[in-house]
Structure 1
Amino acid sequence: MADAEVLYAVRDHVATITLNRPERMNTISRAMLEAVSARLLDARDDPEVRVVVLTGTGRAFCAGLDLRRDESGGSRGILDPDAPVRTTIDLRNAPPTVLHEMDKPTLCVLNGSAAGYGFDMAMGCDIRLMSSKAKLSAAFTKRGIVPESGGTWLLPRMLGWAKAAELIFTGRTLSAEESLEMGLVSAVHEPEALDKAAATLAAEMAGSAPLAVQAAKRMMRMGLSEPFAEHVHHVYLQLLPLMQTEDQKEGMKAFMEKREAVFRGN
């Protein structure tokens, strides 16, 4: 069941993970959580994949976690009364953690609205493109909870403390235009133009030297918690092996010859 609810395809160095539960607005069941993590890890470990796209089917990207139990025998909700009680929580392979630690660039294509867990998952991607018809709902505090999957860490860094506080404390729902104005998404497109815009951006990223892109993302992530001097030192140490790659040689040769480089990831 989870395989049908989380689709996975690779084409032209781009892995696309699609939430495929439109009848429930792509709410995430327990099985889907595991499937999303598994597909993210597949993309991470596939040397042919250079960019990961996360999107959904239907009118929503993801309306959050599925808190209901499917009595028909299908996917179980997150709050399953028959699940064993756990006294510890291991989130190392949860989608937000896997997303955060992935070196390959991630692009969230918000085909529809995102709320709750879906909001946090979208924010966990590197870049977001949004349908003009979609909304972002940060209504956690209006439900008596907090952004449980990275939002409290991500939003202050993305928006600054005051804007993040305003968004989280009010539980506000944002239109596509408001999301763009706040900087939560990179661009807003009409629904019929969204997929083409996403494919163009994904192809552009996939056309860069993959080892350099991944190293740059890794350095950006490390830089979030490092002092400047230590960070510059780590960047230099990362640069040294890149200078020995065939892709670096190809990049410099293509520049001198005034042509597009053809990178092979080695």
Structure 2
Amino acid sequence: MGDDDDIRYAVADHIATLTLNRPERMNTISAPMLDLLGALLTRANGDPDVRAVILTGTGRAFCAGLDLASASRGEGIGSAAAAHPPTIDLRAAPPTVLFAMDKPVIAALNGSAAGYGMDIAIGCDIRVMAQDAKLAAAFVKRGVVPESGGTWLLPRLIGWAKAAELIFTGRTLTADEALQLGLANHVVATADVPATARAIAAEIAANAPLAVQASKRMMRMGMDERFDTHVQHVYLQLLPLFRTDDFQEGIRSFMEKRPATFIGR
């Protein structure tokens, strides 16, 4: 698993790169791709050699959403045959897996993200967008809701009022508008998207991975906790980090005024 034609998976320098690879279909997500994407994200999160993840696409789009062309033919996602599936394991679905991941995930938006593609992009921790890329929250224009986390994520990312306007109108945002709203971290030339995302991933990967992952867990928990409860959880997370080799290396490198070399234990 990992070098499927529709999703490419590679690991180098502690960075896992997942590339949606259906450029002729603007990287729309088929039913098999949903399973594969969830499995590959789980694989990256469980690999001790991986310290950061990049999710990107090939061609002119990051991801134009679910494969509605198949649904219009009565096949796949959204079709009548799939309307009442016997079971749906949401725990293995890409948005749920993304939310639960301890490894930081960077969305490298080589092109536009629409519908499901937008939900996947905003489910990542950091977004680097090409100048000509767009975010299209077109759910209500298709008769559905942001089904993959958007109704939970957007109010937390940009506030209720701005999220309400975006979702209820089904509006499309330019990269600069996404940057102004805080939905993009960086907007760069299309050709610079891969290098910019990789530079951020490399900077993350150079840090103590257990501390980075614990920080992400604490941030996630803190979204729904009271401050005093959260401080207690942070303290309990801090204690085992004090006993790691990486903590000792962090102290030594600081005292010796040199870059640290972390090993993840």
- TM-score (ref. length: structure 2): 0.95
In structure 2, distance between residues paired with 1:142 and 1:80:
18
- TM-fit CA distance, 1:77: 3.2
Compute the displacement of 1:82 (Å). Answer: 5.2
1:112 is matched with which residue?
A: 111
State the alpha-carbon separation in 1 of the partners of residues 43 and 247 from structure 2: 26
Q: Which residue of 1 aligns with 2:149?
A: 150
1-side partners of 2:126 and 2:248: how far apart?
28
SS in 2 for 1:154: helix
Q: Identity rate of aligned residues, in percent? A: 64
Contact between 2:38 and 2:97, CA under 8 Å: does it hold in 1?
Answer: yes
Which residue of structure 2 aligns with residue 31 of structure 1? 32
Report deviation, 1:90.
Answer: 2.5
Measured in 1, the distance between the counterparts of 2:228 and 2:81 equals 52
**1:57 aligns to 2:58 (yes or no):** yes
User: Quick one: distance in 2 between partners of 1:160 and 1:232?
Assistant: 24
Q: What letter is aligned with 1:31?
A: P
Q: Which residue number corresponds to residue 16 of structure 1? A: 17
Partner of 2:217: 218
Q: Distance in 2 between matches of 1:83 and 1:162?
A: 34
1:200 maps to: 199
Letter in 2 for 1:194: V
Q: Report how far residue 79 of structure 1 moved.
A: 3.4
Aligned-partner Cα distance in 2 for 1:152–1:135? 19
3-state SS of 1:193 partner? helix
Is the partner of 1:31 in helix, strand or coil?
A: helix
Match of 2:130 in 1: 131
Asked if 1 retains the 8 angstrom alpha-carbon contact of 2:129 and 2:188, the reply is yes
Q: How does 1:66-77 map to 2 (within 5 A)?
A: 66-69=67-70, 77=76
Kindly indicate whether the alpha-carbon contact (under 8 Å) linking 1:68 and 1:79 is maintained by their aligned counterparts in 2. no
- Distance in structure 1 (CA, Å) of the matches to 2:183 and 2:81: 38
CA RMSD of aligned residues (A): 1.8
- Unpaired runs of at least 5, structure 1: 71-75
CA distance in 2, matches of 1:58, 1:189: 17
Q: Which runs of 5+ in 2 are unaligned?
A: none
Amino acid paired to 1:18: T
Measure the CA separation in 2 of the matches of 1:32 and 1:93.
Answer: 12
Question: Which residue identity is paired with 2:225?
Answer: E
SS in 2 for 1:41: helix
Deviation by residue 1:143-193 (Cα, 9 ceiling, x = unmatched): 221100000000000001111111111111011111101110100000111
TM-score (norm 1): 0.95
Partners of 2:76 and 2:82 within 8 A in 1:
no
**Structure 1 residue 87: deviation in Å?**
5.0
* 2:49 paired residue number: 48
CA contact (8 A) 2:54 2:198 kept: no
